[in-house]
Chain A
Amino acid sequence: MAARTRYAPDRGLTVRMTATMFLLGLVFVAFVALIIGIMTAAHASGAAIILVAVIFGGGSAFISLFYSDKIALAAAGARVVSPEQEPRLHGIVDRLCALADMDKPRIAISPARMPNAFATGRNSEHSVLCVTEGLLYHSQLTDEELEGILAHELSHVAHKDVQVMTYASLLAIVAGLLVRFAFYSELFGGARRSGGNNSQAALLIPLIMLASIVVYAISFLLIRLLSRYRELAADRSGALLTQNPSALINALYKVSEGMNGIPTQDLRAAEPLNAFYFAPAMKMSLTRGRSGGGGGKSLSAIFSTHPSLEKRVEQLNKIQLELGQPGPDPRGLK
Protein backbone atom coordinates (compact mmCIF):
# COMPACT_ATOMS: atom_id res chain seq x y z
CA MET A 1 0.00 0.00 0.00
CA ALA A 2 1.81 3.04 -1.22
CA ALA A 3 0.94 5.95 0.99
CA ARG A 4 -0.02 9.08 -0.80
CA THR A 5 1.84 12.18 0.05
CA ARG A 6 0.61 15.58 -0.91
CA TYR A 7 3.86 17.41 -0.55
CA ALA A 8 6.67 17.44 -3.01
CA PRO A 9 10.10 18.11 -1.53
CA ASP A 10 11.53 21.52 -2.29
CA ARG A 11 14.07 20.55 -4.93
CA GLY A 12 15.36 24.09 -5.37
CA LEU A 13 16.32 24.29 -1.72
CA THR A 14 17.97 20.87 -1.83
CA VAL A 15 19.99 21.86 -4.89
CA ARG A 16 21.13 25.14 -3.34
CA MET A 17 22.08 23.39 -0.12
CA THR A 18 24.03 20.73 -2.01
CA ALA A 19 25.89 23.39 -3.96
CA THR A 20 26.80 25.22 -0.77
CA MET A 21 28.08 22.08 0.91
CA PHE A 22 29.96 21.09 -2.21
CA LEU A 23 31.67 24.49 -2.28
CA LEU A 24 32.57 24.17 1.40
CA GLY A 25 34.13 20.80 0.68
CA LEU A 26 35.95 22.25 -2.29
CA VAL A 27 37.38 25.08 -0.21
CA PHE A 28 38.45 22.51 2.36
CA VAL A 29 40.26 20.37 -0.20
CA ALA A 30 41.87 23.40 -1.83
CA PHE A 31 43.01 24.63 1.57
CA VAL A 32 44.65 21.33 2.49
CA ALA A 33 46.28 21.09 -0.94
CA LEU A 34 47.54 24.65 -0.68
CA ILE A 35 49.05 24.13 2.76
CA ILE A 36 50.75 20.91 1.67
CA GLY A 37 51.98 22.66 -1.47
CA ILE A 38 53.43 25.59 0.45
CA MET A 39 55.09 23.24 2.92
CA THR A 40 56.68 21.09 0.27
CA ALA A 41 57.86 24.10 -1.70
CA ALA A 42 59.48 25.59 1.37
CA HIS A 43 60.89 22.25 2.61
CA ALA A 44 59.76 23.51 5.96
CA SER A 45 58.58 21.78 9.07
CA GLY A 46 55.75 24.13 9.84
CA ALA A 47 53.56 21.05 10.04
CA ALA A 48 53.58 21.33 13.80
CA ILE A 49 51.65 24.63 13.65
CA ILE A 50 49.02 23.13 11.41
CA LEU A 51 48.73 19.99 13.46
CA VAL A 52 48.24 22.09 16.58
CA ALA A 53 45.59 24.18 14.81
CA VAL A 54 43.73 21.09 13.62
CA ILE A 55 43.85 19.47 17.05
CA PHE A 56 42.82 22.66 18.85
CA GLY A 57 40.18 23.60 16.33
CA GLY A 58 38.78 20.11 15.94
CA GLY A 59 38.94 19.48 19.67
CA SER A 60 37.12 22.64 20.61
CA ALA A 61 34.49 22.03 17.93
CA PHE A 62 33.83 18.50 19.16
CA ILE A 63 33.73 19.54 22.78
CA SER A 64 31.25 22.28 21.97
CA LEU A 65 29.22 19.79 19.95
CA PHE A 66 29.32 17.21 22.72
CA TYR A 67 28.28 19.66 25.40
CA SER A 68 26.18 21.86 23.12
CA ASP A 69 23.03 21.40 25.20
CA LYS A 70 24.77 22.25 28.49
CA ILE A 71 26.75 25.14 27.01
CA ALA A 72 23.70 26.67 25.36
CA LEU A 73 21.56 26.31 28.48
CA ALA A 74 24.25 27.89 30.62
CA ALA A 75 24.82 30.72 28.14
CA ALA A 76 21.10 31.45 27.99
CA GLY A 77 20.73 31.08 31.76
CA ALA A 78 17.95 28.61 31.06
CA ARG A 79 16.44 26.03 33.38
CA VAL A 80 14.89 22.73 32.34
CA VAL A 81 11.20 22.61 33.23
CA SER A 82 9.08 19.56 34.02
CA PRO A 83 5.62 18.82 32.61
CA GLU A 84 4.16 19.77 36.01
CA GLN A 85 5.72 23.23 35.84
CA GLU A 86 4.80 23.93 32.23
CA PRO A 87 1.97 21.59 31.25
CA ARG A 88 0.92 23.68 28.29
CA LEU A 89 4.35 23.86 26.68
CA HIS A 90 4.96 20.17 27.28
CA GLY A 91 1.51 19.34 25.93
CA ILE A 92 2.19 21.12 22.66
CA VAL A 93 5.60 19.49 22.24
CA ASP A 94 4.24 16.04 23.22
CA ARG A 95 1.69 16.22 20.44
CA LEU A 96 4.12 17.52 17.84
CA CYS A 97 6.57 14.74 18.69
CA ALA A 98 3.79 12.13 18.42
CA LEU A 99 2.81 13.55 15.03
CA ALA A 100 6.38 13.54 13.78
CA ASP A 101 7.33 10.28 15.54
CA MET A 102 10.42 11.72 17.15
CA ASP A 103 11.96 11.61 20.61
CA LYS A 104 10.84 14.40 22.83
CA PRO A 105 13.60 16.85 23.68
CA ARG A 106 13.97 18.32 27.14
CA ILE A 107 12.21 21.64 27.54
CA ALA A 108 13.91 24.66 29.04
CA ILE A 109 12.94 28.26 29.69
CA SER A 110 15.38 31.12 29.53
CA PRO A 111 14.66 34.31 31.47
CA ALA A 112 15.45 36.57 28.50
CA ARG A 113 12.80 39.15 27.65
CA MET A 114 13.51 38.80 23.95
CA PRO A 115 10.88 36.61 22.32
CA ASN A 116 12.92 33.75 20.92
CA ALA A 117 13.52 30.02 20.96
CA PHE A 118 16.35 27.66 20.13
CA ALA A 119 17.03 23.96 19.99
CA THR A 120 20.40 22.35 20.45
CA GLY A 121 22.10 19.10 21.42
CA ARG A 122 24.32 16.67 19.59
CA ASN A 123 21.62 14.07 19.00
CA SER A 124 17.98 13.46 19.70
CA GLU A 125 18.64 11.96 23.16
CA HIS A 126 20.60 15.00 24.27
CA SER A 127 18.55 17.65 22.56
CA VAL A 128 16.94 20.46 24.44
CA LEU A 129 14.38 22.95 23.24
CA CYS A 130 14.56 26.30 24.93
CA VAL A 131 12.09 29.16 24.76
CA THR A 132 12.51 32.56 26.34
CA GLU A 133 10.12 34.01 28.87
CA GLY A 134 9.66 36.83 26.42
CA LEU A 135 8.22 34.42 23.90
CA LEU A 136 6.01 32.64 26.41
CA TYR A 137 4.67 35.51 28.44
CA HIS A 138 5.26 38.82 26.70
CA SER A 139 4.91 38.28 22.99
CA GLN A 140 1.13 37.87 22.73
CA LEU A 141 1.52 34.79 20.58
CA THR A 142 -1.52 32.57 20.29
CA ASP A 143 -1.05 28.89 21.05
CA GLU A 144 -1.05 28.06 17.35
CA GLU A 145 1.69 30.59 16.67
CA LEU A 146 3.73 29.26 19.58
CA GLU A 147 3.19 25.77 18.19
CA GLY A 148 4.51 26.92 14.81
CA ILE A 149 7.70 28.17 16.43
CA LEU A 150 8.12 24.96 18.43
CA ALA A 151 7.60 22.90 15.27
CA HIS A 152 10.33 24.95 13.59
CA GLU A 153 12.70 24.20 16.47
CA LEU A 154 11.78 20.51 16.51
CA SER A 155 12.63 20.41 12.82
CA HIS A 156 16.09 21.72 13.67
CA VAL A 157 16.44 18.75 16.04
CA ALA A 158 15.12 16.33 13.42
CA HIS A 159 17.50 17.71 10.79
CA LYS A 160 20.44 17.40 13.24
CA ASP A 161 21.32 20.99 12.46
CA VAL A 162 23.71 21.38 15.39
CA GLN A 163 25.83 18.50 14.08
CA VAL A 164 25.67 19.63 10.47
CA MET A 165 26.63 23.20 11.32
CA THR A 166 29.47 22.08 13.59
CA TYR A 167 30.99 19.93 10.87
CA ALA A 168 30.51 22.74 8.38
CA SER A 169 32.26 25.20 10.70
CA LEU A 170 35.27 22.96 11.39
CA LEU A 171 37.28 24.30 8.48
CA ALA A 172 36.59 27.90 9.34
CA ILE A 173 37.65 27.29 12.93
CA VAL A 174 40.95 25.68 11.88
CA ALA A 175 41.64 28.40 9.32
CA GLY A 176 40.85 31.08 11.88
CA LEU A 177 43.27 29.51 14.36
CA LEU A 178 45.99 29.29 11.70
CA VAL A 179 45.64 32.99 10.97
CA ARG A 180 46.15 33.71 14.63
CA PHE A 181 49.10 31.31 15.03
CA ALA A 182 50.77 32.63 11.91
CA PHE A 183 50.23 36.19 13.07
CA TYR A 184 51.82 35.57 16.45
CA SER A 185 54.77 33.63 15.06
CA GLU A 186 55.30 36.51 12.66
CA LEU A 187 55.35 38.93 15.59
CA PHE A 188 57.55 36.91 17.90
CA GLY A 189 59.54 34.91 15.42
CA GLY A 190 60.83 37.95 13.55
CA ALA A 191 64.01 38.28 15.55
CA ARG A 192 64.99 34.67 15.10
CA ARG A 193 64.66 34.90 11.35
CA SER A 194 66.85 37.97 10.97
CA GLY A 195 69.77 35.54 10.84
CA GLY A 196 68.86 35.14 7.18
CA ASN A 197 69.69 31.48 6.80
CA ASN A 198 66.08 30.51 6.15
CA SER A 199 64.54 32.88 3.67
CA GLN A 200 62.02 30.29 2.54
CA ALA A 201 60.55 30.00 6.00
CA ALA A 202 60.25 33.79 6.06
CA LEU A 203 57.98 33.51 3.08
CA LEU A 204 56.12 30.55 4.47
CA ILE A 205 54.36 32.20 7.40
CA PRO A 206 52.77 35.11 5.50
CA LEU A 207 51.68 32.71 2.76
CA ILE A 208 49.90 30.41 5.17
CA MET A 209 48.38 33.45 6.82
CA LEU A 210 47.09 34.80 3.55
CA ALA A 211 45.66 31.44 2.49
CA SER A 212 44.00 31.01 5.87
CA ILE A 213 42.44 34.46 5.72
CA VAL A 214 40.99 33.77 2.29
CA VAL A 215 39.74 30.34 3.32
CA TYR A 216 38.28 31.74 6.51
CA ALA A 217 36.43 34.49 4.65
CA ILE A 218 35.01 32.17 2.00
CA SER A 219 33.97 29.44 4.40
CA PHE A 220 32.45 32.03 6.74
CA LEU A 221 30.18 33.25 3.95
CA LEU A 222 29.33 29.69 2.90
CA ILE A 223 28.47 28.71 6.46
CA ARG A 224 26.17 31.70 6.82
CA LEU A 225 24.54 30.74 3.53
CA LEU A 226 24.13 27.15 4.70
CA SER A 227 22.67 28.38 7.98
CA ARG A 228 20.05 30.40 6.08
CA TYR A 229 19.10 27.37 4.01
CA ARG A 230 18.77 25.27 7.16
CA GLU A 231 16.42 27.88 8.58
CA LEU A 232 14.27 27.76 5.47
CA ALA A 233 14.27 23.97 5.64
CA ALA A 234 13.19 24.08 9.29
CA ASP A 235 10.42 26.59 8.46
CA ARG A 236 9.21 24.29 5.75
CA SER A 237 9.27 21.09 7.80
CA GLY A 238 7.70 22.87 10.74
CA ALA A 239 4.86 24.27 8.64
CA LEU A 240 4.22 20.89 7.07
CA LEU A 241 4.18 19.26 10.48
CA THR A 242 1.57 21.60 11.95
CA GLN A 243 -0.14 22.05 8.57
CA ASN A 244 -0.57 25.61 9.58
CA PRO A 245 1.87 27.87 7.75
CA SER A 246 -0.33 30.90 8.41
CA ALA A 247 0.30 30.63 12.14
CA LEU A 248 4.05 30.46 11.58
CA ILE A 249 3.91 33.53 9.33
CA ASN A 250 2.04 35.45 11.99
CA ALA A 251 4.50 34.30 14.62
CA LEU A 252 7.41 35.46 12.47
CA TYR A 253 5.88 38.90 12.10
CA LYS A 254 5.05 39.21 15.76
CA VAL A 255 8.45 37.99 16.92
CA SER A 256 10.40 40.19 14.50
CA GLU A 257 8.44 43.23 15.55
CA GLY A 258 9.05 42.33 19.16
CA MET A 259 12.74 41.95 18.46
CA ASN A 260 12.93 45.40 17.00
CA GLY A 261 10.67 47.00 19.57
CA ILE A 262 11.75 45.65 22.92
CA PRO A 263 14.94 47.11 24.31
CA THR A 264 17.01 43.96 24.37
CA GLN A 265 19.05 42.65 27.26
CA ASP A 266 22.77 42.29 26.78
CA LEU A 267 23.11 41.56 23.09
CA ARG A 268 26.68 40.35 23.39
CA ALA A 269 25.51 37.61 25.72
CA ALA A 270 23.07 36.43 23.10
CA GLU A 271 25.47 36.33 20.19
CA PRO A 272 27.07 32.87 20.52
CA LEU A 273 23.65 31.22 20.37
CA ASN A 274 22.62 33.12 17.31
CA ALA A 275 22.92 30.37 14.74
CA PHE A 276 20.38 28.23 16.56
CA TYR A 277 17.83 30.88 17.33
CA PHE A 278 14.41 31.10 15.76
CA ALA A 279 14.97 34.71 14.79
CA PRO A 280 18.44 36.21 14.96
CA ALA A 281 18.91 37.89 18.28
CA MET A 282 21.75 40.10 17.20
CA LYS A 283 21.42 42.42 14.29
CA MET A 284 24.64 42.90 12.39
CA SER A 285 25.75 46.47 12.52
CA LEU A 286 25.44 46.44 8.75
CA THR A 287 21.71 45.99 9.08
CA ARG A 288 21.40 49.10 11.17
CA GLY A 289 23.29 51.15 8.62
CA ARG A 290 20.75 50.31 5.98
CA SER A 291 20.11 53.95 5.19
CA GLY A 292 23.78 54.33 4.36
CA GLY A 293 23.47 53.08 0.82
CA GLY A 294 22.01 50.54 -1.55
CA GLY A 295 24.72 48.00 -0.81
CA GLY A 296 23.91 47.77 2.89
CA LYS A 297 20.95 45.50 2.59
CA SER A 298 22.51 42.90 0.32
CA LEU A 299 25.66 42.86 2.43
CA SER A 300 23.73 42.21 5.60
CA ALA A 301 21.87 39.45 3.76
CA ILE A 302 25.17 37.72 2.97
CA PHE A 303 26.39 37.85 6.55
CA SER A 304 23.13 36.93 8.22
CA THR A 305 22.55 33.57 9.91
CA HIS A 306 18.82 33.81 9.20
CA PRO A 307 17.00 34.49 5.95
CA SER A 308 15.12 37.72 5.67
CA LEU A 309 11.57 37.84 6.92
CA GLU A 310 10.39 38.35 3.34
CA LYS A 311 12.14 35.18 2.14
CA ARG A 312 10.72 33.12 4.98
CA VAL A 313 7.20 34.43 4.49
CA GLU A 314 7.47 33.90 0.75
CA GLN A 315 8.31 30.24 1.23
CA LEU A 316 5.51 29.75 3.74
CA ASN A 317 3.07 31.40 1.36
CA LYS A 318 3.99 28.75 -1.18
CA ILE A 319 3.16 26.03 1.34
CA GLN A 320 -0.15 27.75 2.05
CA LEU A 321 -0.94 27.49 -1.63
CA GLU A 322 -0.03 23.80 -1.59
CA LEU A 323 -2.50 23.30 1.20
CA GLY A 324 -5.18 24.67 -1.06
CA GLN A 325 -5.71 28.06 0.38
CA PRO A 326 -4.65 31.42 -0.95
CA GLY A 327 -2.23 33.14 1.37
CA PRO A 328 -3.76 35.93 3.40
CA ASP A 329 -1.85 39.12 3.80
CA PRO A 330 -0.33 38.62 7.23
CA ARG A 331 -0.18 42.33 7.89
CA GLY A 332 -3.91 42.51 7.32
CA LEU A 333 -4.56 39.92 10.02
CA LYS A 334 -3.44 42.03 12.90
Chain B
Amino acid sequence: MGFLDTLFGRTKPVQPKLDDLFALPSAALQLEAATGFKPTGSGSVSFRAPEGKPFADIQKEVLELLDMDNDKPDGGLPVEVTKDSYGYTWLVSNHMSDEMGTLVTDLHAVNTALVDGGFGPQLLCTLVAFSDDNHRRLSLVYLYKRGTFYPFAPLGSGNNRDNALELQVKGVLGDELRIEPDLTRWFPVWGAPGL
Protein backbone atom coordinates (compact mmCIF):
# COMPACT_ATOMS: atom_id res chain seq x y z
CA MET B 1 0.00 0.00 0.00
CA GLY B 2 1.25 3.42 -0.89
CA PHE B 3 1.65 6.29 1.51
CA LEU B 4 -1.44 8.07 0.19
CA ASP B 5 -3.55 4.93 0.56
CA THR B 6 -2.48 4.70 4.17
CA LEU B 7 -3.21 8.36 4.71
CA PHE B 8 -6.68 8.09 3.28
CA GLY B 9 -7.51 4.64 4.59
CA ARG B 10 -8.04 3.09 1.20
CA THR B 11 -7.36 -0.44 0.10
CA LYS B 12 -7.00 -1.24 -3.53
CA PRO B 13 -8.48 -4.58 -4.52
CA VAL B 14 -5.61 -6.94 -5.24
CA GLN B 15 -5.56 -8.33 -8.75
CA PRO B 16 -4.72 -12.01 -9.18
CA LYS B 17 -1.67 -13.37 -10.98
CA LEU B 18 -2.80 -16.10 -13.34
CA ASP B 19 0.02 -17.20 -15.61
CA ASP B 20 2.04 -19.17 -13.09
CA LEU B 21 -0.66 -21.83 -13.15
CA PHE B 22 0.74 -23.15 -16.41
CA ALA B 23 3.84 -24.37 -14.61
CA LEU B 24 1.68 -27.06 -12.99
CA PRO B 25 1.81 -29.83 -15.65
CA SER B 26 5.61 -30.05 -15.67
CA ALA B 27 5.70 -29.71 -11.88
CA ALA B 28 3.28 -32.65 -11.65
CA LEU B 29 5.70 -34.82 -13.64
CA GLN B 30 8.58 -33.78 -11.41
CA LEU B 31 6.51 -34.51 -8.32
CA GLU B 32 5.59 -37.98 -9.54
CA ALA B 33 9.20 -38.79 -10.43
CA ALA B 34 10.53 -37.66 -7.07
CA THR B 35 7.81 -38.69 -4.61
CA GLY B 36 5.38 -41.00 -6.39
CA PHE B 37 2.45 -38.63 -5.96
CA LYS B 38 0.15 -38.71 -9.01
CA PRO B 39 -2.51 -36.18 -9.92
CA THR B 40 -6.00 -37.45 -9.09
CA GLY B 41 -7.30 -35.44 -12.01
CA SER B 42 -9.39 -33.10 -9.97
CA GLY B 43 -8.75 -29.48 -9.41
CA SER B 44 -10.77 -26.60 -8.09
CA VAL B 45 -10.98 -22.86 -8.10
CA SER B 46 -12.07 -21.12 -4.95
CA PHE B 47 -13.45 -17.62 -4.94
CA ARG B 48 -15.59 -15.32 -2.91
CA ALA B 49 -18.95 -14.87 -4.61
CA PRO B 50 -20.07 -11.28 -4.16
CA GLU B 51 -23.68 -10.59 -3.43
CA GLY B 52 -25.66 -9.20 -6.33
CA LYS B 53 -26.79 -10.23 -9.77
CA PRO B 54 -23.74 -9.32 -11.91
CA PHE B 55 -21.67 -12.03 -10.33
CA ALA B 56 -24.40 -14.66 -10.49
CA ASP B 57 -24.55 -14.06 -14.25
CA ILE B 58 -20.81 -14.54 -14.70
CA GLN B 59 -20.82 -17.69 -12.63
CA LYS B 60 -23.54 -19.14 -14.84
CA GLU B 61 -21.53 -18.31 -17.96
CA VAL B 62 -18.44 -19.99 -16.56
CA LEU B 63 -20.36 -23.14 -15.76
CA GLU B 64 -21.84 -23.31 -19.22
CA LEU B 65 -18.41 -22.78 -20.73
CA LEU B 66 -16.83 -25.62 -18.76
CA ASP B 67 -19.69 -28.02 -19.23
CA MET B 68 -19.51 -27.60 -22.97
CA ASP B 69 -16.51 -29.90 -23.40
CA ASN B 70 -18.33 -32.53 -21.44
CA ASP B 71 -20.79 -33.05 -24.28
CA LYS B 72 -17.98 -34.74 -26.16
CA PRO B 73 -18.11 -38.56 -25.89
CA ASP B 74 -14.83 -38.76 -23.97
CA GLY B 75 -15.67 -35.81 -21.79
CA GLY B 76 -15.13 -36.11 -18.05
CA LEU B 77 -17.52 -35.56 -15.22
CA PRO B 78 -19.44 -32.32 -15.10
CA VAL B 79 -18.15 -29.41 -13.12
CA GLU B 80 -19.37 -29.37 -9.55
CA VAL B 81 -20.16 -26.20 -7.66
CA THR B 82 -20.02 -26.26 -3.90
CA LYS B 83 -20.05 -23.62 -1.23
CA ASP B 84 -17.83 -24.36 1.73
CA SER B 85 -18.59 -23.55 5.33
CA TYR B 86 -16.51 -20.37 5.11
CA GLY B 87 -18.77 -18.96 2.42
CA TYR B 88 -16.38 -19.47 -0.49
CA THR B 89 -17.54 -21.03 -3.72
CA TRP B 90 -15.54 -23.89 -5.23
CA LEU B 91 -15.76 -24.97 -8.85
CA VAL B 92 -14.43 -28.50 -9.04
CA SER B 93 -13.31 -29.81 -12.40
CA ASN B 94 -12.70 -33.55 -12.73
CA HIS B 95 -10.49 -35.11 -15.38
CA MET B 96 -8.50 -38.27 -15.87
CA SER B 97 -5.28 -38.32 -13.90
CA ASP B 98 -3.11 -37.93 -17.00
CA GLU B 99 -4.95 -34.85 -18.22
CA MET B 100 -3.11 -32.27 -16.18
CA GLY B 101 -2.85 -29.94 -19.16
CA THR B 102 -6.60 -29.96 -19.80
CA LEU B 103 -7.32 -29.48 -16.14
CA VAL B 104 -5.11 -26.42 -15.95
CA THR B 105 -6.73 -25.03 -19.09
CA ASP B 106 -10.13 -25.48 -17.46
CA LEU B 107 -9.02 -23.75 -14.28
CA HIS B 108 -7.51 -20.97 -16.31
CA ALA B 109 -10.77 -20.51 -18.21
CA VAL B 110 -12.58 -19.94 -14.92
CA ASN B 111 -9.98 -17.42 -13.81
CA THR B 112 -10.03 -15.52 -17.05
CA ALA B 113 -13.81 -15.32 -17.10
CA LEU B 114 -13.87 -13.95 -13.55
CA VAL B 115 -11.06 -11.47 -14.19
CA ASP B 116 -12.69 -10.27 -17.41
CA GLY B 117 -15.88 -9.67 -15.47
CA GLY B 118 -13.95 -7.49 -13.04
CA PHE B 119 -14.07 -10.08 -10.28
CA GLY B 120 -10.33 -10.83 -10.19
CA PRO B 121 -9.96 -9.64 -6.58
CA GLN B 122 -12.47 -12.30 -5.52
CA LEU B 123 -10.21 -15.23 -6.46
CA LEU B 124 -8.87 -16.94 -3.35
CA CYS B 125 -6.89 -19.98 -4.44
CA THR B 126 -6.81 -22.89 -6.78
CA LEU B 127 -6.16 -26.40 -5.67
CA VAL B 128 -4.90 -29.44 -7.58
CA ALA B 129 -5.11 -32.81 -5.87
CA PHE B 130 -2.52 -35.60 -5.80
CA SER B 131 -2.32 -38.96 -4.08
CA ASP B 132 0.23 -41.76 -3.84
CA ASP B 133 -0.05 -45.54 -3.70
CA ASN B 134 -0.50 -45.46 0.08
CA HIS B 135 -3.53 -43.19 -0.39
CA ARG B 136 -1.78 -40.29 1.19
CA ARG B 137 -3.34 -37.07 0.03
CA LEU B 138 -1.53 -33.99 -1.11
CA SER B 139 -2.63 -30.86 -2.85
CA LEU B 140 -0.84 -27.96 -4.39
CA VAL B 141 -2.54 -24.72 -3.54
CA TYR B 142 -2.01 -21.71 -5.76
CA LEU B 143 -2.43 -18.32 -4.10
CA TYR B 144 -3.71 -15.95 -6.74
CA LYS B 145 -2.69 -12.76 -5.04
CA ARG B 146 0.87 -13.92 -4.40
CA GLY B 147 1.39 -15.91 -7.57
CA THR B 148 2.89 -18.67 -5.43
CA PHE B 149 2.16 -22.30 -4.64
CA TYR B 150 2.30 -24.21 -1.42
CA PRO B 151 1.73 -27.87 -0.61
CA PHE B 152 -1.05 -28.92 1.73
CA ALA B 153 -1.13 -32.50 3.00
CA PRO B 154 -3.98 -33.34 5.36
CA LEU B 155 -3.40 -36.32 7.66
CA GLY B 156 -6.18 -38.64 8.74
CA SER B 157 -9.61 -37.28 9.46
CA GLY B 158 -8.71 -34.74 12.12
CA ASN B 159 -7.20 -31.35 11.51
CA ASN B 160 -3.61 -32.50 11.22
CA ARG B 161 -1.25 -31.87 8.39
CA ASP B 162 1.83 -33.74 7.32
CA ASN B 163 4.39 -30.98 7.61
CA ALA B 164 7.29 -33.28 6.78
CA LEU B 165 5.72 -34.22 3.46
CA GLU B 166 4.86 -30.60 2.73
CA LEU B 167 8.45 -29.50 3.29
CA GLN B 168 9.71 -32.42 1.20
CA VAL B 169 7.45 -31.28 -1.66
CA LYS B 170 8.70 -27.75 -1.22
CA GLY B 171 12.24 -29.01 -1.77
CA VAL B 172 11.27 -31.17 -4.75
CA LEU B 173 9.34 -28.47 -6.57
CA GLY B 174 11.49 -25.52 -5.63
CA ASP B 175 12.87 -25.25 -9.17
CA GLU B 176 9.60 -25.90 -10.97
CA LEU B 177 7.18 -23.68 -9.12
CA ARG B 178 7.39 -20.50 -7.15
CA ILE B 179 6.81 -21.86 -3.67
CA GLU B 180 5.42 -19.40 -1.15
CA PRO B 181 8.44 -18.48 1.01
CA ASP B 182 6.37 -17.21 3.95
CA LEU B 183 5.27 -20.35 5.79
CA THR B 184 2.61 -18.44 7.73
CA ARG B 185 0.71 -18.09 4.49
CA TRP B 186 0.45 -21.85 3.98
CA PHE B 187 -3.00 -21.83 5.46
CA PRO B 188 -4.84 -25.13 5.71
CA VAL B 189 -7.89 -25.80 3.55
CA TRP B 190 -9.47 -28.63 5.53
CA GLY B 191 -12.15 -30.49 3.67
CA ALA B 192 -11.72 -28.45 0.53
CA PRO B 193 -13.85 -29.79 -2.31
CA GLY B 194 -11.80 -31.74 -4.85
CA LEU B 195 -9.10 -32.59 -2.32
Query: Which residues on A are within 8 Å of B, measured CB to CB?
Result: 3-7, 9, 13-14, 17-18, 21, 83-84, 87, 90-92, 94-95, 97-101, 103-104, 143-144, 147, 155, 158-161, 163-164, 229-230, 233-234, 237, 240-246, 320, 323-325
Query: Which residues of B sit under 8 angstroms from A163, Cβ to Cβ?
Result: 6
Partner of B118, one of A4, A17, A143: A4
Shortest distance from the beta carbon of A240 to any chain B beta carbon, whole Å: 7
B7 at the interface (CB under 8 A from A): yes
For chain B residues 100-124, which have a beta carbon within 8 Å of chain A? Answer: 115-122, 124
- CB of B12 to closest CB in A, whole Å: 8
Collect the chain A residues with CB atoms within 8 Å of residue B87's CB. 143-144, 147, 244
B-side interface mostly:
loop
CB-CB under 8 A from A3, the residues of chain B are 15, 115, 120
* Proximity string of chain B (1-33) to chain A, C-beta cutoff 8 Å, 1 when within and 0 when not: 100011111111111000000000000000000
Query: What separation, in Å, do the CA atoms of A242 and B48 have in the docked complex?
Result: 7
Secondary structure at the A interface, as helix, strand, loop or mixed, is helix
Q: Counting CB contacts under 8 A, is B134 at the interface? A: no
- Total contacts A to B, CB within 8 angstroms? 127
> In the bound complex, do residue B52 and residue A21 qualify as a contact, i.e. CB atoms below 8 Å apart?
no
B10 touches A237 (CB 8 A): yes
List residues of chain B with CB under 8 Å of any chain A CB: 1, 5-15, 48-55, 85-88, 115-122, 124-125, 143, 145-146, 159, 182, 184-185, 187-188, 190
Query: Do B86 and A230 have beta carbons less than 8 Å apart?
Result: no
Distance of A99 Cα from B50 Cα, bound (Å): 13
What is the bound-complex CA distance between A94 and B184, given in angstroms?
9
The 5 closest A-B pairs by CB, nearest first: A233-B9, A243-B50, A94-B187, A324-B52, A101-B145
Name 24 interchain pairs, CB-CB below 8 A, sorted by A: A3-B115, A4-B117, A5-B12, A5-B13, A9-B10, A13-B8, A17-B7, A87-B159, A90-B187, A92-B86, A99-B145, A100-B14, A100-B145, A103-B184, A143-B86, A159-B1, A159-B6, A229-B9, A233-B9, A237-B10, A244-B87, A323-B52, A323-B55, A325-B53
Complex Cα spacing A243 to B50, Å? 5
Choose among A7, A83, A324 the residue that contacts B54 (Cβ–Cβ < 8 A).
Answer: A324
Q: Would you give the shortest CB distance from A157 to chain B, in whole angstroms?
A: 10
